[in-house]
Amino acid sequence: MRVILLFLLASALLFGETFKLYLKDGGYHLVREYQVQGDRIHYYSTERDDWEDIPVSLVDLTKTEQARKAKLDAQARTTRAEDEEDQAERELKREIASIPMETGAYYNDGQKIKAVPQADYQIKTDKKRTTLAALSPVPLIPGKASVVINGDHSNFIVTEERPGFYLRLAKEERFGIIRLEPKKGLRVVENISIVPKVNVSYEDRKQMDTFDQQLADGLYRVWPEKPLTPGEYALVEFSDSQDKDDIELIIWDFAYHPMGK
């Protein structure tokens, strides 16, 4: 498409662009160029491939030039839009190529792509027992539990109020950004209720509204719809099967501090 457009524009410049020479009676001639010579218009007719003359008094030069300018402006806008589209495609390819092929979460700090460390989390039950969640799914007993990360603060800090992250997924699952709830040396990711009779779990997380853009197979860019307020957050990849034996979570924690502290 781009090559064809450039060819047509080059041809127009080489052979002259066809436009309408409007007449005051409402008609027009298709011409390649014209010259005002005294009381006559000397023009090249593209319909008859020859030079012809017509009295100036019969020609609407104002309408002719306005229409011609509008056509040239439209062509310029089309060319500019094509250039911008090509540039956007090249930038997208560079962006995709900059993200490592390994599955995980990544962040561009403006200078380089950084891998966001995956958080180790625990399942804390209502009986004060904790179970290290090495790999999901995590078996749970009936009752209530919380998914928590040790420590009050994340070591991975961003200063953008609407940070954009890249997620390269191992498989197609749901994902998003959630706000973590600090609580006595922990950060709560979500609360879980296990209903024993129906063998179903209900996960309650403070998921934020986000924009998601798929860049390639398994590669997504995600960023919050609204500016973040300072605090603790996490990128989460999850599966909501509601099976108590199939609670899957992958967590990458980060903190937002405008001043970087």
- CA 51 – CA 31 distance, rounded (Å): 9
Give the predicted TM-score (pTM) of the model: 0.60
pLDDT for 211 equals: 94
Rg (CA), the chain: 32
Location of structure tokens 């919050």: 224
- CA 9 – CA 88 distance, rounded (Å): 22
Go through 198-235 and write b for each residue having 16 or more CB atoms within 10 A of its CB, e for each that does not.
Answer: eeebebebeeeebeeeebeeebbbbebeeebeeebbbb
pLDDT for 240 equals: 58
pLDDT for 142 equals: 56
Helical (H) or strand (E) element with 40: strand 40-45
Query: What is the percent of the chain with per-residue pLDDT over 90, rounded to a whole number?
Result: 48
pLDDT for 2 equals: 47
pLDDT for 127 equals: 55
Q: For residue 109, give the DSSP letter.
A: -
Interaxial angle between packed helices 61-98 and 2-15, expressed in degrees from 0 to 180 and rounded to the nearest 10: 150
pLDDT for 87 equals: 85
Exposed / middle / buried, residue 9 (Cβ in 10 Å: 0-12, 13-18, 19+): middle
In the sheet that holds 248-256, the strands lie side by side as 157-158, 248-256, 231-239, 174-179
Sketch the domain layout of the chain as residue ranges.
Answer: 2-98, 104-256
pLDDT tens over the chain, length 261 residues: 444 444 444 344 334 689 999 999 999 999 999 999 999 999 999 999 999 999 999 999 999 999 999 988 998 999 898 888 888 788 888 888 999 999 999 999 888 899 999 998 887 765 554 444 433 444 455 567 788 898 989 999 999 999 999 999 988 888 999 999 888 889 988 876 655 544 455 555 678 899 999 999 999 999 999 999 999 999 988 775 544 445 578 899 999 998 755
Tell which residue, 56, 73, 72, 64, has the closest CA to residue 30: 64
pLDDT for 232 equals: 94
Q: Which residues contact 258 (CB under 8 A, 6 or more apart)?
A: 159, 161, 230
Helical (H) or strand (E) element with 104: strand 104-108
Say whether the peptide bond before residue 100 is cis (omega within 30 degrees of 0): no
- CA 164 – CA 223 distance, rounded (Å): 4
DSSP string, 166-199: EEE-SS--EEEEEE-EEETTEEEEEEEEEETTTT
Exposed / middle / buried, residue 33 (Cβ in 10 Å: 0-12, 13-18, 19+): middle
pLDDT for 244 equals: 45
pLDDT for 197 equals: 47
Express each pLDDT in 114-155 by its tens digit.
999 999 888 776 555 444 443 344 445 556 778 889 898 999
pLDDT for 212 equals: 92
